[in-house]
């Protein structure tokens, strides 16, 4: 297929590269002018999308997604598949769907989970909102970039699933970090803490797969100086989206709001640019 890819940052670049490596003709655009192996650079958004059969976007926030998609729909050919993989608010995702529909484009919101490691390895999970038929068209492309794609429902459902999932992740990582911090304070070794909790009722992804304690469990960002696989500011962004959604819908999410406040403080006190699991080190120094 001819594929346009807008947003070649830490996530978009490896995703586009994997599509190219699978044999697709990928044209990419990024405001930073970055180059990606196998991806033909475009000077403008219009150049990247005008002949594309499928168009992917991976962008920072809802305002930018809306602005970029206004340019895309003006240049894309009718019937093209438009897939936004950004993590944004549900309202913006639905607005982009409406833009695409009015331009006779097929549209999906498809945020991802798996971080930069998953993007590079092609093991991302896609949470997808939009029509079932559009999902089936996009599924072979999701299979190149990821190991799982779940059709979550109508327009905006992918974004809803993403912010709910990451609220759970943020809360659980805080619990794991506080558990290790308390274990340290009580004189319990981190290895013993891991060996017990990872095979007991405390087991969870934040502990078993992404342990925040260096030298314990599988290799994680903690073993690489907390170089971000998922940066603190991105966790704060997702928790803020979840908190905003809870307020807008009247949902009760007290722990989600508290987690947002904890990560806001951590971000302001040295966490920005570090992996979100570095909260453990922050607690240890507090």
Catalytic (active-site) positions = 162
What is the distance between the alpha carbons of residues 145 and 126, in angstroms, rounded to a whole number? 9
Nearest to 127 by CA among 95, 160, 96, 101: 160
Phi, psi of 43 (to 5 degrees): -80, -25
């Amino acid at each position: 297929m001819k594929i346009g890819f807008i947003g070649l940052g830490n996530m978009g670049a490896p995703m586009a590269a994997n599509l190219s490596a699978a044999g697709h003709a990928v044209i990419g655009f990024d405001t930073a002018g970055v180059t990606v192996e196998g991806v033909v650079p475009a000077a403008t958004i219009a150049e990247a999308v005008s002949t594309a059969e499928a168009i992917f976007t991976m962008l920072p926030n809802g305002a930018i997604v809306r602005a970029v998609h206004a340019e895309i729909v003006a240049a894309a050919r009718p019937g093209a598949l438009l897939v936004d993989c950004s993590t944004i608010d549900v309202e913006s995702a639905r607005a982009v769907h409406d833009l695409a529909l009015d331009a006779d484009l097929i549209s999906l919101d498809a945020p991802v989970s798996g971080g930069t490691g998953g993007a590079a390895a092609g093991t991302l999970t896609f949470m997808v909102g939009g029509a079932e038929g559009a999902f089936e068209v996009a599924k072979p492309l999701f299979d190149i970039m990821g190991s799982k794609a779940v059709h979550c429902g109508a327009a905006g459902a992918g974004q809803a699933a993403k912010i709910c999932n990451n609220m759970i992740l943020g809360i659980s990582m805080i619990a794991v970090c506080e558990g290790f911090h308390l274990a340290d304070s009580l004189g319990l070794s981190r290895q013993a803490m891991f060996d017990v909790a990872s095979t007991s009722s405390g087991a969870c992804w934040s502990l078993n797969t992404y342990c925040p304690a260096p030298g314990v469990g599988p290799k994680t960002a903690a073993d690489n100086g907390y170089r971000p696989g998922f940066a603190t500011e991105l966790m704060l962004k997702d928790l803020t989206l979840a908190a905003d959604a809870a307020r807008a819908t009247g949902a009760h999410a007290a722990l989600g709001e508290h987690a947002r406040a904890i990560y806001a403080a951590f971000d302001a006190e040295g966490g920005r640019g570090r992996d979100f699991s570095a909260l453990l080190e922050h607690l240890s120094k507090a």
